[in-house]
Amino acid sequence: MMLLRLISWPYARKHLLRWLLTMAGIVLGVGVFVGMHTANQSVLAAFRETIDKVAGTTQLQITAGEPGFGEEVLEKVQSLPEVRAAAPVIEATVSTGQGNLLILGVDMLGDRSLRTYDLEGTDEAIDDPLIFLAQADSLIVTRTFAEKNGLQVNSRVPMRTMQGDLIFTVRGIMKPGGLASAFGGDLAIMDIYAAQKFFGRGRRFDRVDLALLDGVTLADGSAKLRALLGSGYEVSPPSSRGEQFEQTSRIYSLASNITSIFALFIGMFIIYNTFAIAVTQRRSEIGILRALGATRSQIRTLFLTESAIAGSIGSGLGVLFGIVMAHAMASYIGNILTEVYGVAQRADGIQVDPVLIGGAWAMGIVTSLFAAVIPARAAAYVDPVKALQKGRNQALSEGESLLRRWAAVGCAAAAVIAVIFSHSTAIFYAGFVLGGVAAVLLAPSLTLWLSRFLRPLLAFLRPVEGTLAADSLIQSPRRTSGTVAALMLSLALVISLGGLARSSYDSLADWMRIALNPDLFVTTAQSVTSRTFVFPASLGDGLRAIPGVDEVQLVRSVRVPVKGGPVMLVALDIGSVERRAKLPAVEGDAATMYRRTERGEAVLASENFVRLHGGKLGEVLEIAAPSGVLKLPIAGIVRDFSDQQGSLLISRQAYIRFWNDDSVNVFRVYVKQGAQDSDVRQRILDTFGKQQRLFVLTNKDVRDYVTRLTDQWFGLTYVQIAVAVLVAILGIVNALTVSITDRRRELGVLQAVGGLRQQIRHTVWMEAAAIGFIGLVLGLLLGAVELYYAIEISRRDLVGIDIGYAYPFRTALALAPVILIAAFLAAVGPSESAVRGSLVEALEYE
Amino acid sequence: MNRLLLAPALSLALLTPCAVAQDARQIMQEVQKRQHSTSQHYEGTLEVIGGGNRIATKRWIFDRLGDFGNSKGMLRFTVPAEVKGVGLLIVNHPDRASDQWMWRPNIGREQRIALQDRSTRFFGTDFSFEDLEERDVEQYDYKFLGEEAGTWKLQSTPRKSSQYTYGYLWVKKDNYTIVKIESYNKKGLVRVIDYRDFEQAKGIWTARTTEVHDVTRNSRTILKYDKLEYNIPMKDAGFTLDALRRGA
């Protein structure tokens, strides 16, 4: 404690700006980590909370994937003696002017056995239950939604339904709390039979919620229900829906985890750099302490304690910053997940997990301590005699450099070997880590070499300033290498993610060209992924009769349980698809696989389904359907990006037969040659637009939508990239501030012998530009390697799709001016500090 | 247990009160016998008196074909306009609970009332769907409890599935009409039904007013019978799902 008070505290006060910059690294690293995780967790927690609140006293739910099942299932379930109450449910999310509204279609007669509807002003479920049931336009809304939209009992609410534009009437308002707080309070209750009609569900329910008689265990009840309904139905507690969603959105969580950990990793280099510099600067202090009898252990502990304190404060601020970030990101992430997975979320508030906060705080401290281990060890081994000789320890010893270089070569060689044996996941990831370690170990030597390489160029540009700037880098590689490493890692992240994005866009463009080639798409929503409303199949005949329409393909997309998880099943007219939009075959006989699938004898699996779910050509898949388990082999593997979790293409006829569902999500419309898309579009709207909810999207609209969705997907990644670059730029500021402080005497002497202020400024600027340049070169090189890993990770564990390697040269070119300008801006403060300081003080320095 | 749609009406029987007083089942058999009719028609006015004495008024038309335990009933709301056309078809069975379907013209479809939902309130009134069933006396066990102010007090216990565990009935000694029913479940008293304003229609003593008191909600529903007719010609085809869908 005494050492901290007498030695560390005065040093920290004297170099307050640097400490603040160091902590900014930790703040950003921890902040991004906490922000991403808290936002993700909040979205998942909000989803679970909605499930929980909507479930009421429901103990078990009967489901059969998204298509739901016929009404007869309800009677079967209700007939089971062990069932106390069973009520059908339809859940639908509709877009209102003020965001999404979750509509719960329930049977008001029996539903109150499972859910409590706490209405305002009366103990009735609604003002007049008979009117509620008799009038299909009846809605019960929550107080939250009513206040947000200025509604009262008998207010009118317009809604676009499958029966056209209708006006609904508010017949009851629920008090806040309980069910009314589900989905952030944006909830409305509708009669289930009205919901069937307005959402185009036919005589189907999404699920049946039930409660068992007292004394019947969940296990017994589930077993009886499974035996009653057969294997095509899932019987599970409400909480399992949350698990399914987590499984579905796993990719997003994993991707955000990887990038947030990367941000923290970059922050670690800033800390390392700061402490390495501190040790260098305080070597005389350390020497005196050692001469006065301080043990190596005490010196090491002193530095580690300083690091722990800095880490603790930085992590604390990072946690606060992360929480603020999470507030901003939660609804954004919710929207992305809604769009990408078609499952509505509502995370208006955030849920702060104490374990996560504690973990992140501890992680920040551990990272800080880890980053300080090497500098602390260096401090402990400072030779008291050499310590008083200024500049002696700044250069890397040849032995030290050699050792690092050999270690780097070893790691790089191991990484290359790991690539050869990369079929093993563990070896692949080990190779990824070793590659990064090799780059980091090599960074000091490369920095030194590149500084030497730059010296003539800088000297050529400005003989005095350029030489001074280059020499400063060459003489103090430790001061620079950490910053360069951080910058290198940041830029490698930019390149790898930028490259991944570009490759993804290229692959998507190829797929869209083949798969999304209809001229028009008739959908139930502006969002192509929304599956709330469905069309009757009969609309297809109506569309075919529109002048100018050449062909109409009926598509039904639903998530159904396959291999233990929800998988997108796309039911369509396979023969027509083969003719019009034949997907590239990855495996299988292209000539026969479509025919077998069309006959309902097999399915086509997407490449990513096979990768992510472990399938193979010829494997017989078991697909749970209400009429039993459908066993179909994989006849072919095709490249299809319909769903991130993979998709299965099935004949529409087979789907109708097994799911007893002939509804349609999307009609793909091909226009006759010579006919104008816009004319046909208008005719469709004129004919059907007023009768029912219907949107006609052009091919461009759909492509733009997919591209926008991809932009959103990568949107947060770009934010993380920006944070990573910001952390690295902070590193440059830090390194330059140290450089100025370190050379205050030298710079003072320069000024004293007639050096102009402008020359001092140029020196600092050139040093900054050189750091930026070196970081840029190394970052672009490492980025090329990281891009390979990013594509591989994406293929193996994220989306399961082979995307081509395409180095993002445009991004690299754009980065050059960005980094050099950022380096220059980072140098402005330190350079002004260098020229505006007191000359007398500078000459007295140290 | 309900006698609501039965519209209790008893003729003066010549049974010796003392002779039957000791046999509860005989009393109920006589009640049923005196209420016997092959069909029934009436127009009912419902007043639901809720919290704050707010009164909601509705009207319906009811037809019944057949008799105890094997009858079919069709109920159709006529007033107010918002609920006009809403119907309920009840098919009673001698050996099990009735089948009930509701018709909602606005949705354009019928909905089966599940057995588990029979205890829920009938369209916001204080009757439950089960109260609309017409059960034969043989579907209950009876126990004679004594005499109270010119009535016999009986206890009835349902033999088949019911929301009620037991009930008390008060049967007037002079004309074998049920004047009051108290229905209990495991938690205690649930409903009290009072029958008033008895008049004879085609020789059947009929209560022109029925008042139901939901004890747990403390609300009341008063049903008044108009245009009451018995034994008028009706066809089976008028009591099917098709008839329900066709509307009145």
| Mean pLDDT value of segment A685-707 | 89
Q: Pick from A413, A41, A248, A255: which is nearest to A796 by CA?
A: A255
pLDDT at A466: 87
Cβ of residue A83 closer than 8 Å to a chain B Cβ: yes
Per residue in B46-86, pLDDT (tens digit) is 998 876 777 888 999 999 998 877 899 999 999 888 889 99
Predicted confidence band of residue A842 (pLDDT cuts 50, 70, 90): low
Query: Which of A84, A90, A128, A161 would best serve as a mutation to test chain B binding (most B beta carbons within 10 A)?
Result: A128
Q: Give the residue carrying structure tokens 């009404």.
A: A71
Q: Look at chain A and count its residues.
A: 846
pLDDT at B154: 96
Is B83 within 8 Å of A194 when comparing Cβ atoms? no
Per residue in A191-239, pLDDT (tens digit) is 999 999 898 888 899 999 999 998 999 999 999 999 999 888 889 998 8
- Please check the confidence at residue B21 and state whether its pLDDT lies above 50: no
User: What are the chain B neighbours of A137 within 8 Å (beta carbons)?
Assistant: 106
Cα separation of A48 and A37, whole Å? 16
Predicted confidence band of residue A604 (pLDDT cuts 50, 70, 90): very high
- Please check the confidence at residue A305 and state whether its pLDDT lies above 90: no
Q: Which residue of A has its CA nearest to B55?
A: A128
b/e per residue, A113-147, with b = 16+ CB within 10 A? bbbebebeeeebbbbbbbbbbbbbbbbbbbbbbbe
| Mean pLDDT value of segment A57-80 | 90
Cα separation of B93 and B161, whole Å? 13
Is A84 within 8 Å of B104 when comparing Cβ atoms? no
First CA to last CA across chain A, in angstroms? Answer: 25
Is B107 within 8 Å of A136 when comparing Cβ atoms? yes
User: What are the chain B neighbours of A194 within 8 Å (beta carbons)?
Assistant: 107
Interface of B with A in 57-76 (CB under 8 A): 58
Q: Would you say the ipTM is above 0.95?
A: no
User: What are the chain B neighbours of A75 within 8 Å (beta carbons)?
Assistant: 112, 114
| Mean pLDDT value of segment A630-651 | 90
| Mean pLDDT value of segment A455-483 | 83
Residues 6+ apart with CB under 8 A from A5: none
Per residue in A737-753, pLDDT (tens digit) is 666 766 667 777 777 77
Per the prediction, chain A carries an average pLDDT of: 83
Q: Pick from A331, A280, A279: which is nearest to A300 by CA?
A: A279
Q: Pick from A267, A811, A798: which is nearest to A495 by CA?
A: A811
Task: Say if residue A444 is preceded by a cis peptide, omega within 30 of 0.
Answer: no
Nearest CB to B123; choose among A86, A123, A129: A129
Per residue in A491-510, pLDDT (tens digit) is 888 898 888 888 888 888 88
Number of H helices, E strands in chain A: 29, 21
Tokens of A16: 């307050």
Nearest CB to A135; choose among B51, B106, B113: B106
User: What are the chain B neighbours of A74 within 8 Å (beta carbons)?
Assistant: 114
Could you state, in order of their start, the residue ranges of all structural domains in chain B? 17-246
Q: How far is CA A445 from CA A404, A433, A436, A452, A773, in A?
A: 8, 20, 15, 11, 15
pLDDT at B15: 31
pLDDT at A247: 65
DSSP of B94-129: SSSPPEEEEEETTTTEEEE--GGGTTSBSTTSS-BT
For A398-420, the three-class secondary structure string (H helix, E strand, C coil) is HHHHHHHHHHHHHHHHHHHHHHH
SS3 state of residue B209: strand
Residues 6+ apart with CB under 8 A from A274: A18, A19, A21, A22, A25, A482, A734, A738
Per residue in A258-275, pLDDT (tens digit) is 666 766 677 777 677 777
Nearest CB to A110; choose among B50, B108, B114: B114
Tokens of A598: 């069309």
pLDDT at A422: 82
The distance of B234 to chain A (nearest Cα, Å) reads 27
| Mean pLDDT value of segment A442-470 | 88
pLDDT at A396: 47
Predicted confidence band of residue B7 (pLDDT cuts 50, 70, 90): very low
Q: How far is CA A349 from CA A44, A336, A835, in A?
A: 12, 16, 49
| Mean pLDDT value of segment A767-793 | 91
The distance of A81 to chain B (nearest Cα, Å) reads 11
User: What are the chain B neighbours of A197 within 8 Å (beta carbons)?
Assistant: 107-108
Evaluate whether A782 touches A439 at the Cβ level (below 8 Å).
yes
Per residue in A793-838, pLDDT (tens digit) is 888 877 777 888 889 998 899 888 988 888 888 778 777 877 776 6
Query: Which of B102, B103, B123, B132 would best serve as a mutation to test chain A binding (most A beta carbons within 10 A)?
Result: B123
- Please check the confidence at residue B1 and state whether its pLDDT lies above 50: no
pLDDT at A249: 65
pLDDT at A672: 95
Q: Please give the CATH architecture assigned to the domain spanning B17-246.
A: Clam (2.50)
Predicted confidence band of residue B14 (pLDDT cuts 50, 70, 90): very low
- Please check the confidence at residue A548 and state whether its pLDDT lies above 50: yes
Cβ of residue A124 closer than 8 Å to a chain B Cβ: yes
Evaluate whether A484 touches A269 at the Cβ level (below 8 Å).
no
Q: Pick from A756, A729, A734, A725: which is nearest to A830 by CA?
A: A734
pLDDT at A80: 93
pLDDT at A263: 67
Predicted confidence band of residue B95 (pLDDT cuts 50, 70, 90): confident
Q: Which of A403-412, A620-629, B115-124, B236-245 has the highest mean pLDDT?
A: B236-245
User: What are the chain A neighbours of B79 within 8 Å (beta carbons)?
Assistant: none
Rg of chain A (C-alpha set): 32
Which amino acid would we find at residue A248? T
Cβ of residue A85 closer than 8 Å to a chain B Cβ: yes
- Please check the confidence at residue B11 and state whether its pLDDT lies above 60: no
Cα separation of A299 and A44, whole Å? 46
**What is the DSSP-derived secondary structure letter of residue B201?**
E
Name the least confident of A204-218, A233-247, A564-578. A233-247
Helix (H) or strand (E) holding A93: strand A83-96
- With a pLDDT cut of 70, the percent of chain A lying above it is 87
The distance of A143 to chain B (nearest Cα, Å) reads 21
| Mean pLDDT value of segment B210-236 | 92
What's the gap between Cα A71 and its chain centre?
A: 39
pLDDT at B16: 32
User: What are the chain A neighbours of B111 within 8 Å (beta carbons)?
Assistant: 107, 193
Evaluate whether A207 touches A87 at the Cβ level (below 8 Å).
no
Cα separation of A749 and A842, whole Å? 8
Cα separation of A434 and A269, whole Å? 17
Per residue in A284-293, pLDDT (tens digit) is 778 888 888 8
Query: Which of B77, B102, B120 would best serve as a mutation to test chain A binding (most A beta carbons within 10 A)?
Result: B120
User: What are the chain B neighbours of A191 within 8 Å (beta carbons)?
Assistant: 107
User: What are the chain A neighbours of B117 within 8 Å (beta carbons)?
Assistant: 107, 109-110, 113
**What is the DSSP-derived secondary structure letter of residue A533?**
S
- Please check the confidence at residue A125 and state whether its pLDDT lies above 70: no
Cβ–Cβ contacts within 10 Å for residue A805, how many?
A: 13
Is B117 within 8 Å of A75 when comparing Cβ atoms? no
Cα within 13 Å of Cα(A278), Cβ side: 34
Is B107 within 8 Å of A194 when comparing Cβ atoms? yes
Predicted confidence band of residue B13 (pLDDT cuts 50, 70, 90): very low
pLDDT at A474: 84
pLDDT at A507: 85
- With a pLDDT cut of 90, the percent of chain A lying above it is 27
Is A123 within 8 Å of B112 when comparing Cβ atoms? no
What's the gap between Cα A205 and its chain centre?
A: 33
Tokens of A78: 């209700």
Predicted confidence band of residue B28 (pLDDT cuts 50, 70, 90): very high
User: What are the chain B neighbours of A107 within 8 Å (beta carbons)?
Assistant: 111, 117
The distance of B149 to chain A (nearest Cα, Å) reads 37
pLDDT at A342: 56
Nearest CB to A130; choose among B50, B86, B120: B86
pLDDT at A394: 46
Cα separation of B138 and B131, whole Å? 17
Q: Which residue of B has its CA nearest to A124?
A: B124
